[in-house]
Amino acid sequence: MFEIYQSEKTQKFHFRLKAGNGEIILTGQAYKDKASCENGVASVKRNATNESRFEIKDSTDGKQYFVLKASNGQIIGQSQMYKTESGLKNGIASVGKNCDGGCKDLTA
């Protein structure tokens, strides 16, 4: 399930993708308007089933995370940090499984 929300501090729009257990598995960037944020959600839905769109990265503390990229190479969303490779791979699979869910607008 996707959620669209607006930052009280910056007034920008964001999305997050949650797994069935409520864990956030992917977070989008900040968007100036809601329509652009909705386009970000649509881009996740288009790209999340293509494994080649995921890029695994290393953080400075040794943990790994992944980013999901659009066909033009732009980053659409980023995961949390993972301690294990199996957790990271499960996170990628979870994005693919959960991206077909609905979208809850928390700004309405």
* Domain ranges within the chain, ordered by starting residue: 2-105
Share of the chain above pLDDT 90, in %: 92
CA angle 99, 86, 76 (to 5 degrees): 35
The pLDDT value recorded for residue 18 is 95
Token pair for residue 40?
């970000």
Q: Are 19 and 98 contacting, i.e. CB atoms less than 8 angstroms apart?
A: yes
15 token code pair: 């999305």
pLDDT digits (tens, 9 = 90+) for 77-107: 999 999 999 999 999 999 999 998 899 999 9
Residue 16 has pLDDT above 90, yes or no: yes
**Average pLDDT for residues 30-46, to the nearest whole number?**
96
Q: What mean pLDDT do residues 70-75 have? A: 94
CATH of the domain spanning 2-105 = 2.30.29.80
